[in-house]
Chains A and B, each alone.
Chain A
Amino acid sequence: MEALLKAVHISKTFGTLPVVRQVSLEVHPGEVVGLAGQSGSGKSTLAMLLAGLYPPSEGRLYFAGRQLRWPFRARQLGIEVIHQTPDLAEHLDITSNIFLGSEICWPFGWGWLRIPQRRRMDREAARILADLDLPFDSLREKVANLSSEQRQMIAIARTLTRSPRLVIIDDPSLLLSYPYQQKLLSLIQAWQQKGVAVLFSSNNLDHLMAVTDRILVLRYGQCVAEFCTDDASREEIVAAMVGTTDRRQLTPIIWALESYYRAREQAEKLRYSQALLERDLAAQDTINRQLIDQLAEQINALDSANIALQDAQRRLLTELEQERKYLAREIHDQIIQDLLGVNYQLEGIEGDESLSPVLCSKLTEIRGSIRSLVDDLRHICGNLRPPTIDSLGLGAAIQSYTRDWAARTGISVTLDLDPNLGRLPEAIELSVFRIVQEGLHNVRKHAGAANVEVCLKHTSPRTLMVSIADDGRGLPEGFDLSTLPAEGHYGLLSISERVALLGGRLKFQNQSGGGLLIQAEIPHPRVVLPRGD
């Protein structure tokens, strides 16, 4: 397929300062290309160049096979640009700003005599704003009186008045709160579904990982790497962004083992003293230098210990699952079968006519307890290894588990499963199952709840949101995850460890109406959703 946008060796110099150097890129229809880089790496300048606002120092640009000459009016070509900070007309109201440059006019006007159709524009604007969950008291409000977030959303709303062929997004999320950032991500996905090309520049790796197909990394104005999002890891991308081949650990691992926290604190202290020492290094003698080297070594050692610890934990969990699987199989294949055999033999004896009726009723009693023993064992097996998870997948396993759990505990469970849940890798499915299991266990043990809501939803093609909400007591005042193990509570802790090992994020919070809400967002390889608008 031919590229919709093709930039060839574009460079831009401000004075003597090169800001963009020899960048070439292609964006195809229906493709989301991410642009990553630290601030100052030239992302915004590149976006401005591609938007036709500045002419580059050198380079060529093709759109839909046609070469463009600067300055061009991007919107006329079907290119929409969302800038880092919104450029709105302060004295105009919300509707006029949304439709600035694409006014809906009465059919009899022409050229500079076009007369705007205010009513229709208001209606359209209200529809667009409702789509964006952006409420306003009046569309006649001047944008000068709005917050910067609202202004940025209006700049985004502007792109929805036309149907673009290419959307260039220059990291507007700085001004947006979480729900509107998610809104932007879902807009990007909607564009992608419609076959619109998107160039998405962002400082937020999570956003880039969630929606892009490819990620280009800019460093000092140069395109230094290109990744296919499905195959790339965060570490690789960050390494390309900061330009280090050293496999330093850049983000702290955040799971909660008591000793680990202590070690971490120590590390922070060491880092701090390292910074202090480095500051007056010039005045220090070689002893200090040695000390710093030692400290640095210690920090490195701590870091690698930290990673090793995490590896060990992961291995431990995997082995635990293996062990459980083995145990479940042993119990199921051996003990239960044997017990059933015994039961069968007893049945044979029971049928013997020569037995006294007293003995016969005793035998029936024994057989009854054997049956309940078998049932108990089956239940234990189910807990050890959900029987349906390997064959029917996570959704089915959770369905049968929650039904069973509700029947046992008498707490009503509402289950809300994503219809497009799909199959995930075994380790992730098991972990999610365990998280639900632990969560429900916790609810029964501590919450005193009457209703539980379990919800599994894809928030993007690469993330799954697991949430468990109950109407019980909620978390106590001054709750601290790191002190739990000392008190012998491991439920929430093991959830947090599992989530951390999957590289996800976990949030506990008391709901406004009482009760606890646990939300875990878990990244996973892309699930291919059935196409459709």
Chain B
Amino acid sequence: MLKSVQRLTMLIFARRESAALALLLAIGTLLGLQSETFLTPNNLLNVVRSFSWIAIAAFGESLVIIIGGIDLSVGAVMGLAGLIGARCMQSGMPLLPAIVAGLLTGCLVGWINGTIVGRVRLPPFMVTLGTMSIVRGIAFGLTGGWPIRDLPMAFRLLGRDMELYSVAVPVPVLVMAFLAVVMSLLLTHTVQGTYIYTLGSNERALLVSGVNVAQVKVFVYTLCGLLAAVGGLLMTARLGVAAPTAATGYELDIIAAAVIGGTSLFGGEGSILGVLVGAAVMQVLRNGLVLSGFPAYWQTTVLGTMILLFILLDYWRRRGQV
């Protein structure tokens, strides 16, 4: 009996994503039993919608973490990308160019991060801490601290629901699903994906194989910026307001989603599916804490503890392998 339990535990913890998945199911069941509102389709769709932009940004973040780096500027990039898009629309630009402008903002910040980390070889923590402040500062400077309101309806539709087989699915969730498939394919079925994993686990092996390592790093950071911008634009569309303070502190949630989903902070491991589950865990936990009336001021403590626990779990698993 004890043995089979042990084996089951081993099986669950052998795959990186499964710990988070188990946790998700556990919390979900608990909340479903406790509160009647949690398992209603409406609440569930709400939960999925509210973690969709976090998840999208976390796809990029997880790539950065897989190559052994970290990007602290994602939250600020989400805010600035939404802001630039909104600013362009306000000044009369058509929808599509405005969105592209927002996306390009994300790419640019990511490219700067990647170039400094990859080619100058500075530690990513310091570099992205710097760009985080710079980007947030630009957001404040551009707006003078005031939010941009009255966004065009066409843009705000991106944050609404879409009738799909008579189910109202939020557009951000569709975008998230699409990007999850694309990123999964990139990671598992392309040469670049192989390079990304190898870069995290053994950079030297890649170096002696003649791969342009700096270029891969620039690619990953730029992609991370781009995905953060996608998330930021969708968030802005949903909220209908582009505030310079938007997405403040989201970098923590994004990194947490990646880490809880099994992306290793030591590099070389992680999957998009895991990130999805991780983002879900974060949001469900938040949602559940609110529904169960947990004191609001203490909620961050719970989330922080959760992150720490998962990093410890990853550490133990690694030690077990060695």
Which A residues touch B186, using CB under 8 A?
A: 112
CA distance A83 to B192 in the complex (A): 25
Could you say which interface size class chain B belongs to?
A: 20 to 34
CA distance A526 to B219 in the complex (A): 53
Q: Cβ of B201 and Cβ of A109 under 8 Å apart?
A: no
Which B residues touch A88, using CB under 8 A?
A: 202, 205
Out of A75, A89, A92, A114, name the residue touching B192 (CB < 8 Å). A114
Interface flag for B300 (CB, 8 Å): no
12 A-B pairs within 8 Å (CB atoms) are namely A73-B211, A75-B209, A81-B208, A89-B198, A89-B201, A91-B197, A91-B268, A102-B210, A112-B190, A113-B192, A115-B189, A115-B191
Q: Cβ of B205 and Cβ of A100 under 8 Å apart?
A: yes
Interface flag for A74 (CB, 8 Å): yes
Out of A51, A96, A100, name the residue touching B211 (CB < 8 Å). A100
CA distance A73 to B204 in the complex (A): 12
Q: Cβ of B190 and Cβ of A113 under 8 Å apart?
A: yes
B residues contacting A by CB (< 8 A) are 186, 189-192, 194, 197-198, 201-202, 204-212, 219, 268
CA distance A350 to B207 in the complex (A): 95
Which A residues touch B202, using CB under 8 A?
A: 87-90
Q: Cβ of A75 and Cβ of B210 under 8 Å apart?
A: yes
Out of A53, A96, A115, A116, name the residue touching B208 (CB < 8 Å). A53
Which B residues touch A114, using CB under 8 A?
A: 190-192
Q: Cβ of A103 and Cβ of B191 under 8 Å apart?
A: yes
CA distance A434 to B299 in the complex (A): 92
Which A residues touch B219, using CB under 8 A?
A: 112
Complex: chain A residue closest to B269, CB-CB: A91
CA distance A105 to B207 in the complex (A): 20
Interface flag for A245 (CB, 8 Å): no
Interface flag for A158 (CB, 8 Å): yes
Q: Cβ of A100 and Cβ of B209 under 8 Å apart?
A: yes
CA distance A412 to B211 in the complex (A): 59
Instruction: Bits for A86-125, please: 1 = Cβ < 8 Å to B, else 0.
Output: 0111111000110011110100010011111000000000
Q: Cβ of A101 and Cβ of B189 under 8 Å apart?
A: no
Could you say which interface size class chain A belongs to?
A: 20 to 34
Interface flag for A354 (CB, 8 Å): no
Interface flag for A244 (CB, 8 Å): no
Q: How close is A137's CB to chain B, nearest CB, in angstroms?
A: 22
CA distance A87 to B211 in the complex (A): 13
Out of A53, A89, A116, name the residue touching B205 (CB < 8 Å). A89
CA distance A81 to B209 in the complex (A): 9
Which A residues touch B190, using CB under 8 A?
A: 109, 112-116
Instruction: Bits for A64-85, please: 1 = Cβ < 8 Å to B, else 0.
Output: 0000000001111000010100
Q: Cβ of A105 and Cβ of B191 under 8 Å apart?
A: yes
Which A residues touch B194, using CB under 8 A?
A: 92, 96, 100, 103, 116
Which A residues touch B201, using CB under 8 A?
A: 89-91
Which A residues touch B210, using CB under 8 A?
A: 73-76, 101-102
Which B residues touch A100, using CB under 8 A?
A: 194, 198, 205-206, 209, 211
CA distance A93 to B207 in the complex (A): 18
Complex: chain B residue closest to A103, CB-CB: B191
Asked whether A158 and B209 contact (CB < 8 A) given A89-B201, A92-B198, the answer is yes
Q: How close is A98's CB to chain B, nearest CB, in angstroms?
A: 10
Q: How close is B204's CB to chain A, nearest CB, in angstroms?
A: 5
Q: Cβ of B189 and Cβ of A89 under 8 Å apart?
A: no
